[in-house]
Amino acid sequence: MSTQTSATILITGATGSIGTELIRQLSAQGIAVNAMVRSPDRAKDLGQLPGVTLVQGDFDDAQSLKAALKGIEKAFLLTNSSEQAEAQQLRFVAAAKAAGVKHLVKLSQWAAHSDSPVRFLRYHAAAEAAIIASGITYTFLRPNLFMQGLLGFKDPIKADNRFFAAAGDARISLIDIRDIAAVAAVVLTTDGHANAVYDLTGPESLTHTALAEIFSAVLQRHITFVDVPEPAMKAALSGAGFPEWQAEGLLEDYAHYRLNEAATVTTTVEDVTGKPARSFGQFVADYAFLFS
Ligand SMILES: NC(=O)c1ccc[n+]([C@@H]2O[C@H](COP(=O)([O-])OP(=O)(O)OC[C@H]3O[C@@H](n4cnc5c(N)ncnc54)[C@H](OP(=O)(O)O)[C@@H]3O)[C@@H](O)[C@H]2O)c1
């Protein structure tokens, strides 16, 4: 681990799916960043990328956030969705304000709202409100369902050619995380995104049955979507080790999808990055080796 904090951009959630991709993209563009990680030892590969300095920081430890934010001008805020997420994000916003951070780019979620029946959307709304109240310039990225979430079904797709969700015939404009990272990279490195809220989607709105058809066409074998009732989805999530709070939150998410509340397609990825958002077919083709 380098002890030198050379960059003025801090990336949190750095070892996660979006954070890793964002850091790879910024590093490839020659942009220096500090990557906040809980365990620098476990993040050695990230620290090998050109321009990346690992800094230790834990959302549950205000002192570590103070140290990680020293000298930082722009920060990318991402936590995973846990019962602690709201408190963690509010702690980070307070530390960013105290450190004099000029711009916060927050990874939020499609349809974040304080009145939402979906707990994830309420905690994101609370964090957004705290950022607005802090007076720090912000950009909120509100992506729809991640295509990479389907990687959670790679084993049943490999073994049985099936995947499951309580999705009914909901249409969802799901998005590839590589496009979310590309938007974040532009926002962190160029002007013109002050106090903007970006609703991020893929290029089309698809039912899970349509996802199965695309899987089948790209993988050249028949893949089936199995619509499951909520109790079966809950049992599967609990069996996979999801904490109760998170499993209940995912059920709320899927109830919201079934109301077709996540079906709208936006052009924001292309508007911001200049490149069209990746299609689901492209996603399956790029990750085909994991499904076969
Ligand atoms: N999944 C979806 O379809 C979807 C859709 C829209 C929005 N979102 C939002 O996306 C976010 C999750 O993004 P993601 O998938 O990239 O997350 P992820 O892969 O789960 O990564 C979470 C990151 O947070 C770090 N972290 C966890 N606890 C921490 C702590 N106490 N202190 C410091 N770092 C900590 C993890 O580091 P370690 O390596 O140390 O664990 C990891 O780097 C959530 O806010 C969710 O609401 C998700």
Mutate to test the pocket of ligand 1, among 17, 23, 79 (most ligand atoms within 8 A of CB): 79
254 and 152 fall within a common domain:
yes
Among 123, 143, 163, the domain boundary falls at: 143
Query: What's the average model confidence in pLDDT over 200-216?
Result: 98
What is the tens place of the pLDDT at every residue in 126-172? 999 999 999 999 999 999 999 999 999 999 999 999 999 999 999 99
Whether 218 is in a domain gets the answer yes
pLDDT at 7: 75
Cα of 217 to ligand 1 centre, how many Å? Answer: 31
Q: Tell me which residue range forms the domain holding 166.
A: 146-174+201-264+278-292
Cα of 68 to ligand 1 centre, how many Å? Answer: 18
Whether 179 is in a domain gets the answer no
Whether 184 is in a domain gets the answer no
Helices assigned H by DSSP within the chain: 17-28, 44-47, 62-69, 85-99, 119-134, 154-160, 177-189, 208-219, 230-239, 244-258, 268-273, 280-286, 288-291
15 and 107 fall within a common domain:
yes
Any atom of ligand 1 within 6 Å of the Cβ of 292: no
86 and 168 fall within a common domain:
no
pLDDT at 17: 97
pLDDT at 6 over 70: no
134 and 156 fall within a common domain:
no
43 and 136 fall within a common domain:
yes
Rounded Cα distance, 273 and 141, in Å: 13
Query: What's the average model confidence in pLDDT over 194-200?
Result: 98
CATH number for position 150: 3.90.25.10
163 and 284 fall within a common domain:
yes
49 and 139 fall within a common domain:
yes
Rounded Cα distance, 136 and 53, in Å: 24
* 10: β partners: 34, 75
Query: What's the average model confidence in pLDDT over 32-59?
Result: 97
